[in-house]
Amino acid sequence: MNSIGITKHAAARMSQRSILANEAELIVLIGTEVDDGYLVREKDYRNAEQGLKQLLQSFRRLVGKRLVVKNGQIVTAYRPSKTRERGLLRTGRDRNHIER
């Protein structure tokens, strides 16, 4: 999302009304566009909430799945065993320690 500019006047009003800059970005993201800006309705909130729940369910389905990537391309995908998973994590930690 493109960041929206904030005037000095708007910054003062937002501060007075306890609206943070990142909250303003959320208003633009989930709100309904009206004549001169955005308004977050209860319906907008429920739609965003439902979308986040679906996204979390999608994330949950990914647990335990692995992609193997070479030269910027996915070459295979699988679900490793718990033993293999631990080995992958161990070698990844070892590699990170060496690179630091």
Q: pTM for the full model?
A: 0.69
Which pLDDT score, from 0 to 100, does residue 11 have?
95
pLDDT tens per residue, range 65-96: 999 999 999 999 999 999 999 999 998 776 66
Backbone phi, then psi, for 5, in 5-degree steps? -75, 155
Q: Is residue 24 within 8 Å of residue 11, measured between CB atoms?
A: no
Domain-wise residue ranges, the chain: 8-61, 64-99
Q: Is the pLDDT of residue 99 over 70?
A: no
Which pLDDT score, from 0 to 100, does residue 28 have?
96
Which range (4-8, 28-32, 47-51, 95-99) has the least confidence? 95-99
